Amino acid sequence: MNSASSSAWNATLVSVSYRQRNWLQDCGSLTRRIQDRCTHFRVQPVFQSLNKIYDDELDIMGLRQCELAMVREVYLYCGSMPVVFAHSVVARKDLRGAWRGLSGLGNKSLGTVLFTNPKIKRTPLEFKKVSRGHFLYDRACAQLPAKPANLWARRSLFTLHGQSILVTEVFLPSILDLPL
């Protein structure tokens, strides 16, 4: 798969509102934070398959263009409102190792798994503003009735026993309706 946008991921945020920054820079469990603000939280899986990954994911995952990875995409809902689109990538070879249980998550939260094991390490967050034509924007907006001009995304690697999973979270406009 190719990269639809050549702009890089950044370690810092520029031109972001206080409310957006508050959500984007939180290093704790995003799932837990949303659950704490919702009466009815749920995870809706929309895609899971072995697949080629996008160019801007290859380097960070240490994979070659021809290598397959498990790609999982879900929406996190607060009531009937999708608030986050999550895109996770695990190298195929790592599904037999540290991340062997991930292919069977279904409608369970990946965040719950990642933040309950103290041996899992997380890299610093990277940020990117995505818009129409970028795969994350297009996938995240697929179920939105109104498409915003752009969306903020963040990503980081979670590593266990030398094996990594790349988790990318795209913040949908409705996240700003939740209390900080």
Report the CATH number that the domain containing residue 73 is assigned in CATH: 3.40.1410.10
H/E segment holding residue 171: strand 163-171
pTM of the predicted protein model? 0.93
C-alpha triplet 10, 42, 11: angle, nearest 5°? 5
Per-residue pLDDT at 2: 46
In a domain, 25, yes or no: yes
Q: What percentage of residues in the chain have a pLDDT greater than 70?
A: 96
C-alpha–C-alpha distance, residues 18 and 66, integer Å: 41
Taking CB atoms within 8 Å and a gap of at least 24, the contacts of 140-149 are: 140/85, 140/170, 140/172, 142/46, 143/46, 143/75, 143/82, 144/82, 144/172, 148/173
The amino acid sitting at 51 is: N
In a domain, 128, yes or no: yes
In a domain, 6, yes or no: no
Looking at the structure of the chain, the number of domains it has is: 1
Query: Averaged over 143-158, what is the pLDDT?
Result: 95
pLDDT band at 101 (very low <50, low <70, confident <90, very high): confident
Structural domain boundaries, residue 51: 18-177
- Does the pLDDT of residue 88 top 60, yes or no? yes
- Does the pLDDT of residue 97 top 80, yes or no? no
Phi, psi of 146 (to 5 degrees): -120, 130
In a domain, 22, yes or no: yes
Helix (H, G, I), strand (E, B) or coil at 64: coil
In a domain, 5, yes or no: no
In a domain, 166, yes or no: yes
In a domain, 97, yes or no: yes
Per-residue pLDDT at 164: 94
In a domain, 11, yes or no: no
- Does the pLDDT of residue 15 top 90, yes or no? no
